[in-house]
Every structure is written in C-alpha cells, then in structure tokens.
C-alpha cells in the first residue's frame, strides 16, 4: 500500500497482454541488432587476426563471422534470457516492482509497432486458413501437475490435493455414477397404513422418502420424516399425498454440477433419476454430491459394512456397487476400459465378461486380475482385485 512501483507491477499483472508482446518483440529485435552490429564491428578485426594463422587463412572471413555470431548468441541467451529469469524467480516481487515502471513506458512507446506486427500476423494466419486456437490457457491436467508439485514441495497438504482433484472430476461426473440404484431405493406407498409407514421409516436411516402410487415409477412426491412426525404429534392422520412435496425429476445422464445447481435453485436436496423411457433408475441427494467431493461419509449403520478391504497379499476385496471413480482411486488407475458404458465395479465386470457373471469368474485388465467372489442374485456383490506380477498397463483380458 502506498508503493507506486508495486501498484505499477499489479497493473501489468492484471493485463499481461499489454506488455508481453512488446517485451517479446523487443527481445527479438535486440537479438537481431546485436548480431548485425557484432558481425559488422568485430568480424573484420577477427578475420584479420585469423589470416595470420596459415592453415585457416583461406577461411578467415567465414570463420570470423561464425565465431562472432556464436559468441553474441551465447551472451544474448545467458545475459538476456536465463540470468534475468533466474533473478525474477528467486525474488519475483522485488524484481517486478523494480522493472514495472520502465517496462510500462516501453510498452506504451512500442504499442503502435506491436499493433502492426499483431495485425500482420493475424492476416497471414487467416490467409493460411488457420482459425483461432480453442485450447484453454491452462488445462485440467496441467493444473493437477501444479497441485502435485505443490504437495511435494509442502505448499499443499495431501488432503487438500485429494479434495481439489475430486472437485475437478466433479465436472465430468454424471449422477448415474453416484446415485442410489433403483433396487436400493426405500419408498412409501400412498396406500400404506400407519403401521407399514412406521415400520419402513424405523428400518431406514433416511430423512426423506419418495411417495409413490402402486409402484416406484408412479411418483407422487417426496415426504420428509419430520413432516410425518409433526402430523403425528398433533394427532393428525398421516396423509402421505398431502404431506408430499413435488418431486425433482432429472435425466440419469445429468451432470452432477447441474444437479447441484438444481438443488440450490429449488431448495430440494433430493432428486429422482429418470431414464429415456420415463422409469425411475435411481435417487441422488445432496449428501451423495458431498461424498463425491470429500469421500465416503459412512453412517453408524454403514461403518460395519466395509466396501473396501486390503488383504495382506496386497489384493483388494471390493464391493460391486463401488463407483468407477472410487475403483480407480483405490486401485491407482487413471481409467478403465469403456468407462462410459457402466457406472459401477459390477457393471465393469459384466462389460468385460459380456454376460451375467458367476462366482469364480475372472479376467485380467489394466494389469489387474479381477475375480468375482460373490453374487447377490444377478448383481455382482464382491470382487477380488489382485495386481499382476510385472503388470502391463496395456494387458488385455480373458476369462479363466
């Protein structure tokens, strides 16, 4: 505050294109002029000196020019490029404040020339049929590399890195990968009696329930347990149809961030995922979105149901309902084959085998041997994942 040099540096940082083109053009111009001046000034005397050396006398003029150009190029790179950059990296704030004023003046003076150069460049590029680049200045992968380097340098905690990477993945995730699947949805029927309602509510840890008419695909609304409790305490009959709020229905391929916006806009924190035929395929809540960001948050009831267990031999016993993102995180994988065709580990196993699995079925993929340990009806319940010796990431798969 109150430092004019710092203010000038901040102004340049806020609009870097204002001076970067001028600096680049200036550096190039100085290099060309230095080469021309050095060749004209020093090549002659050096050539005269080289002529006194009999073996190279016939080549004195050419050799002198080459030597002068090499020396000037070396000095330009070291003194004009590398040394200033190293000084700026070691003390960026001080250097920026010191040079901001002169750089700003040079940028203002050179702006007309830079404008002509930019216009000429754009015209030539347009004639060549090359459109403007759509590549973002910083990609997601580059950002992940920077965060990883920051973690190794101690700037970030590992937990912070994990949180940021989960947030970055959120933009590509669809609710189908985090929702509660249809078979696991607990719902109430408008025709249920009070005893049935009490039994279902007591058996479930949830605070909201879909209310349906005869079947899950005939959704009436969403009812909150506290609304039923309030009606009960007031001695009123529990009318599920009257207590239910209109449901939030979203396509199952909707992105997670879009659903988060819907939760914010509607005030509802629960949505039902619908397929292209209008059938209910799953249920997603704000709690599911939170778990996608921070990781699993098991309730007291869920703590005893371990979904991921690492065994002494280094293999993993995994729940078939684990999402693709959770499987990749546990096994340290960047991707699984054909990820867009399934949402869970069980779906991956079925996709690889091409049929409904049976216990003891196995295959190899991405350097890991996957074996079906248990089935729950037609659903893959437990899978054993064991790294292969000298695993080849490009390994195929095959059924034993």
d(CA 363, CA 353): 8
pLDDT at residue 301 in the model: 55
Helix/strand/coil for 270? strand
Angle at 120 between CA 117 and CA 126, to 5 degrees: 140
pLDDT at residue 242 in the model: 93
Angle at 66 between CA 24 and CA 79, to 5 degrees: 40
pLDDT at residue 399 in the model: 46
What is the phi-psi region of residue 207: left when phi exceeds 0, alpha when psi lies from -120 to 50, beta otherwise?
alpha
The DSSP-derived string for 141-165 is HHHHHHHHHHHHTTSS-HHHHHHHH
Helix/strand/coil for 89? helix
Ramachandran angles phi, psi of 391, nearest 5°: -60, 135
The helix, strand and coil proportions of the chain, stated in percent and rounded to the nearest 5, come to: 55, 15, 30
Of 41, 85, 82, 96, nearest to 65 (Cα)?
A: 41
Instruction: Give me the tens of pLDDT residue by residue for the chain, a chain 400 residues long.
Output: 446 777 777 776 766 666 667 777 777 778 788 777 777 788 788 888 888 888 878 888 888 888 888 888 888 888 877 888 888 778 777 877 777 778 778 777 877 877 887 788 778 878 887 766 666 667 778 888 888 888 888 888 888 888 888 888 888 889 988 999 999 999 999 999 999 999 999 998 899 999 999 999 999 999 999 999 999 999 898 999 999 999 999 999 999 999 999 999 999 999 999 999 999 999 999 999 998 888 777 665 554 454 788 888 889 999 998 888 889 989 989 889 988 788 889 999 999 999 999 999 999 999 999 999 999 899 999 999 999 986 444 444 444 4
Any idea what DSSP says for residue 82? Answer: I
pLDDT at residue 349 in the model: 95
pLDDT at residue 394 in the model: 46
pLDDT at residue 179 in the model: 92
pLDDT at residue 170 in the model: 85
Which domains does the chain carry? 4-127 (no CATH), 140-170 (no CATH), 175-294 (3.10.580.10), 308-387 (3.30.465.10)
d(CA 149, CA 169): 19
Of 287, 232, 300, nearest to 259 (Cα)?
A: 287
pLDDT at residue 390 in the model: 67
Q: Which two tokens stand for residue 388?
A: 């292969």
pTM as predicted: 0.58
d(CA 22, CA 265): 47
């Amino acid at each position: 505050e109150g430092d004019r040099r710092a203010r000038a540096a901040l102004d340049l940082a806020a609009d870097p294109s204002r001076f970067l083109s001028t600096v680049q053009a200036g550096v190039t111009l100085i290099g060309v002029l230095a080469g021309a001046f050095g060749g004209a000034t020093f090549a002659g005397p050096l050539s005269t000196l080289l002529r006194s050396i009999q073996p190279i006398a016939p080549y004195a003029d050419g050799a002198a020019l080459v030597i002068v150009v090499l020396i000037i190029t070396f000095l330009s790179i070291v003194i004009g490029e590398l040394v200033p950059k190293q000084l700026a990296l070691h003390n960026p704030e001080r250097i920026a404040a010191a040079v901001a004023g002169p750089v700003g003046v040079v940028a203002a003076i050179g702006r007309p020339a830079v404008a002509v150069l930019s216009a000429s460049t754009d015209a030539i590029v347009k004639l060549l049929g090359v459109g403007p680049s759509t590549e973002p200045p910083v990609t997601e992968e580059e950002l992940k590399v920077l965060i990883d380097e920051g973690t190794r340098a101690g700037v970030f905690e590992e937990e912070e890195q994990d949180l940021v990477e989960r947030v970055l993945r959120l933009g590509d995730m669809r609710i189908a990968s985090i929702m509660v699947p249809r078979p696991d949805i607990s719902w109430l029927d408008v025709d249920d009696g009070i005893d049935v309602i009490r039994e279902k509510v007591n058996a479930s840890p949830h605070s909201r329930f879909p209310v349906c008419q005869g079947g899950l695909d005939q959704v009436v609304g969403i009812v909150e347990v506290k609304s039923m409790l309030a009606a009960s305490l007031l001695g009123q009959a529990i009318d599920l149809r009257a207590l239910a709020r209109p449901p939030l229905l979203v396509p199952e391929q909707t992105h997670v961030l879009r659903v988060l916006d819907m939760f914010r806009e509607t005030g509802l924190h629960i949505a039902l995922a619908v397929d292209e035929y209008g059938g209910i395929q799953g249920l997603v809540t704000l709690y599911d979105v939170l778990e996608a960001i921070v990781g699993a948050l098991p309730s007291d009831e869920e703590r005893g149901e371990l979904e991921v267990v690492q065994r002494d031999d280094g293999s993993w016993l995994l729940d078939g309902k684990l999402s693709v993102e959770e499987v990749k995180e546990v096994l340290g994988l960047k991707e699984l084959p054909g990820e867009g065709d399934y949402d869970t580990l069980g779906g991956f196993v079925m996709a690889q085998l091409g049929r409904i699995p049976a216990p003891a079925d196995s295959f190899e993929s991405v350097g890991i041997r996957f074996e079906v340990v248990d089935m729950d009806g037609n659903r893959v319940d437990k899978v054993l994942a064991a790294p292969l010796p000298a695993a080849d990431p490009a390994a195929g798969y095959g059924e034993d």
